Amino acid sequence: MSRSEEITQQFEAISFRILQNSRNELYLNMRFLDLALSSLEFRVTTELSGIGTDGFALFVHPKVLADLYEQDRKLVNRIYLHTVYHCLFRHLLKTGKYPERLWNISCDMAVETLMDGMNYRCVRMGGNRYRMNWQERLQKERKVLTAEGICHYLMQAGLPEYELRRLETEYGIDDHSLWPKAEPPGSPPPPQMEVLQNKWQDVSEKTQTEMETFAKEVSQGAGDLLEEMQVANRERYDYRSFLRKFAVMKEEMQVDPDTFDYVFYSYGLSLYGNMPLIEPQEYKEVHKIEEFVIVIDVSMSCSGELVRTFLEQTYAVLTESQSYLRKVNIRILQCDEQVRADQKITSQKELKDYMEHFELMGNGGTDFRPAFDYVNQLIEQKELLHLKGMLYFTDGYGTFPKRRPPYDVAFVFMEEDYTDAAVPPWAIKLILQKEDLEENTEFQTDRQFIWEEDQK
């Protein structure tokens, strides 16, 4: 064995020992991260300029690691935990959705801010005013600082180049070059991406369960980790698909090409000249929205801007010709402790006029029962004949009805104002993100739609 090979092996042995000690120290303080901490193999390499991960292993440059350890072993603990958090939140699997540079900065800011809020000696270090100012600035916009929320803020802020470089220097402590590259739009994800997604989805969900149950007391010093994991692990649903759950089977006047037989049509023309034996049907059975109710919580705790954003996105979906019948019966209620307004919508024109002249009424307390009583009266008065469900946009602070109504109900919460409100067991709880409404209209839900069985 040559001298250089011997030195290389010594560096590798030292690096492995440093990483093992770091993992043990993190585990002793945060036992709920046991599975996550042991999910990355250790790889020593000189081809990487620093320390990073590809989701399968933790790659370290031996000299960089040794310098960090010599300076302060807490720095090793932090960069180890930093890379693990990237994996837990699947940051490295979401490349391509946002501008690459801003996404990298946002991911680093999210995990570093999370560690700054932890009350564990193994990672706690003296804070600086720059980080504190940014944390206060971001928390004015969002209660839970996810990478997606931070990136959305940075995209709107339009920061100058020197500020972006300062953020990269302050928060960018690991190397992201090993993260999977974004695939071209429309192309299927490679098998490696699916393996990584399944792996870390499972680790993240098990870690969340551990924090919520057995390690609940131990995890109290973890800051906002549990809340961020709850956000990351929620399932997402396309908003258009969600609204289609209110659809009913109806006949609409339009040509139905699916039931048209071109053989008989062509045979009739060839036999008689100008007389087909069969013509297209003039009516087609379609699943479209006919009736549903939207209730807007206009209490003082609900932001008028968020209400408008929610209604505008709902309007955008409903005005698509594929979404609803030409004649509809949509009721838009405004309610706090009583019903303040009831707008009946029967056409696209009426919906457009309502949105152009929309005004919030109310600002009282929150009580959900009056809206349900009012809708029940509309059903008794035959104003609503085929009601499939109700959307209730609210902050969640109010009195719920005790009995389940004869239609499905979804309580919709804005994520930035959302605290884990307990809804009745018969209701659906949906949590939406502001950027989802503005960009790709995806909802998040805590459980499967109960009306999916009805559609079957």
- What token pair was written down for 265? 């049509």
> Judging by DSSP bridges, how do beta strands 389-393 and 41-44 pair with one another?
unpaired
**Per-residue pLDDT tens over the stretch 260-302:** 555 655 655 666 566 554 555 554 444 455 678 889 888 755 5
Say how many residues make up the chain.
Answer: 456
pLDDT value of residue 190: 77
pLDDT value of residue 171: 94
- What are the residue boundaries of the structural domains of the chain, listed by start? 3-233, 240-250+287-455
**Per-residue pLDDT tens over the stretch 13-71:** 999 999 999 999 999 999 899 999 999 999 999 888 899 999 999 999 999 999 999 99
Determine what percent of the chain falls in helix, strand and coil, rounding each to the nearest 5: 50, 20, 35
Which residue, among 326, 332, 335, has the nearest Cα to 289 in the 3D structure?
A: 326
In this structure, what DSSP letter does residue 175 have?
A: B
Which residue, among 224, 35, 4, has the nearest Cα to 118 in the 3D structure?
A: 224
Which residue, among 105, 115, 86, 78, has the nearest Cα to 172 in the 3D structure?
A: 105
* Long-range contacts of residues 133-136, Cβ cutoff 8 Å, at least 24 apart: 134/109, 134/167
First to last CA, the chain: 69
Mean pLDDT estimate for the chain: 79
Over residues 125-152, the mean pLDDT reads: 86
Percent of the chain scored above 90 by pLDDT?
A: 32
**Per-residue pLDDT tens over the stretch 174-186:** 999 999 887 776 6
Domain 240-250+287-455, second-level architecture: 3-Layer(aba) Sandwich (3.40)
The model's pTM is 0.71
